[in-house]
């Protein structure tokens, strides 16, 4: 008898946000909620931001702490190999604020979603500095949260220019906070 590969167990978040129950993430549902068609099979993830200067590590970790406070996913810092790596990188498209690279499984594995199993976030710090106006810290943190949204399976939200997942985000004024749309979509993916 051959050893059959075991199927991944898919964890669900213990949070209790009021989101619809989804049996299968069809393309119509993915489009309606601006989802990318993938998710992690676990809710506890590690991240490594040690390649960032200390001031940017603090900003990245502030964004991560806000995500952790939602109670949907939990990210833990490590200096070792991590699920998510965050680096600064001048991107080919110099007007791109950041990029999330998330290789996925070849075939949908869970409720018609691909398995995201690793991620690298590349932040174009030079472009953020040039466009941050007076609030670099908030703009950097906003972009970390945006790219993490992609890493978690969220797509751009074309309807809301001031939401975290907007494709055309402009710098927040005041202190950055995670918007309701981001929370709802994250809960939808990970509570189901």
pLDDT at 131: 77
Sign of the C-alpha dihedral computed for residues 180, 165, 153 and 100 taken in this order: negative
**142 has a pLDDT exceeding 80:** yes
Q: How far does Cα 2 stand from its chain's mean position?
A: 38
What does the pLDDT average to over 110-118?
93
User: How many CB atoms are located within 10 Å of the residue 126 CB?
Assistant: 13
On average, the pLDDT of the chain sits at 88
Hey, what are 161's tokens? 């220019």
151-178: per-residue pLDDT in tens?
999 999 876 667 888 876 665 666 778 9
49-67: per-residue pLDDT in tens?
999 999 999 999 999 999 9
Share of the chain above pLDDT 70, in %: 89
123 - beta bridge partners? Answer: 88, 98
């Amino acid at each position: 008898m051959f050893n059959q590969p075991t199927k991944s167990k898919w964890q669900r978040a213990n949070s209790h946000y009021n989101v619809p129950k989804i049996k299968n993430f069809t393309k119509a549902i993915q489009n309606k909620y601006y989802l990318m068609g993938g998710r992690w099979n676990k809710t506890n993830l590690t991240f490594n931001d040690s390649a960032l200067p200390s001031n940017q590590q603090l900003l990245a970790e502030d964004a991560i702490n806000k995500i952790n406070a939602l109670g949907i996913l939990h990210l833990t810092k490590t200096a070792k190999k991590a699920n998510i790596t965050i680096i600064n990188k001048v991107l080919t498209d110099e007007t791109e604020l950041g990029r999330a690279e998330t290789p996925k499984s070849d075939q949908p594995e869970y409720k018609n979603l691909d398995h995201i199993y690793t991620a690298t976030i590349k932040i174009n710090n030079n472009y953020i500095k040039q466009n941050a106006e007076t609030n670099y810290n908030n703009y950097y943190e906003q972009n970390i949260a945006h790219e993490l949204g992609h890493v978690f399976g969220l797509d751009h939200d074309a309807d809301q220019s001031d939401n975290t997942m907007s494709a055309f985000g402009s710098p927040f004024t005041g202190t950055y906070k995670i918007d309701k749309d981001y929370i709802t979509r994250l809960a939808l993916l990970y509570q189901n």
